[in-house]
Amino acid sequence: MSRVVVVTGGTRGIGLGLAKAFLNHGCQVVICGRSNSSVASALEELSPLGEAHGIPCDVSEPVQVQALWDAAVERFGRVDVWINNAGVMNSLVDFADATVDEIGTVVDVNLLGAMYGAHVAFRGMREQEGGGFVYLMEGLGSGGEVRPQHTVYGATKYAVRYLVKALVEEAKDTEVRIGSISPGIVVTDLLMDVYKTRPVEEIVRAKKVFNILADHVDTVAPWIAERVLVAKDNGTAITWLTKFSAFSRFATAAFNKRDLFAEAEAEA
């Protein structure tokens, strides 16, 4: 039976990649983005692959998140998998130099957006036959690691890890299952946008690390989608880049030269 999958922030980056991967598996997919134009553009790419639908939605607005659920149910009858993927990164500045507006935006999207999405999906799946799977997207900071100038983003992802653990407990006696996805470092516009105004030498250093640890969307997204579709257990954690694999990449970096950015430019 075809699964109905909702991917928030599904108009670009890893979200768009996941939407494509699920469609390739025969799923019916619903995406959202912040604007009509971004949704329309994404659907032009997705529709040839299968049954795709999308609406604009600001995940920091609970009414709009509920409307996303309602649109998916109206179009496809139910939601089997809900992935809280929408996220934003803070500018690379020290916390004291961050603007109040930006702090609010990152918290609203990354944390409140994840909460509102999980809240709507948990309630909806609790009421439908067979329940469903709610995934939250982890990232830098989820495991407690600290990196300079990533304070706001990292704090939201640390909170998401707690949210996952708490919801796993709450879902124990229901047909709803909670999971987490950690996609690692993926080469997307979101990743590189924060470096646009940085000094050249900083961009060069960052790219050296990314060429060791990062991967393309088309590599990571299908791998994640396959594991989402076979998962059965509450508390499922899907992790692309484990600590062991990261260590191995650094250990073999001198013998395994990669240039992800040259590849991306060649494909453009």
What residues are labeled active site?
Answer: 153
Tell me how far apart the alpha carbons of residues 255 and 25 are, in angstroms, rounded to a whole number: 35
Q: Which of 217, 206, 212 is nearest to 254 (CA)?
A: 212
CA distances from 246 to 14, 101, 238, 260 (A): 20, 34, 15, 16
Q: How far is CA 197 from the centre of its chain?
A: 24
Residue at 268: amino acid letter: A
The residue type of 35 is S
Dihedral angle at the C-alpha atoms of 27, 189, 223, 16, nearest 10 degrees? Answer: 0
Q: Distance (Å, rounded) from C-alpha 144 to C-alpha 25? A: 34
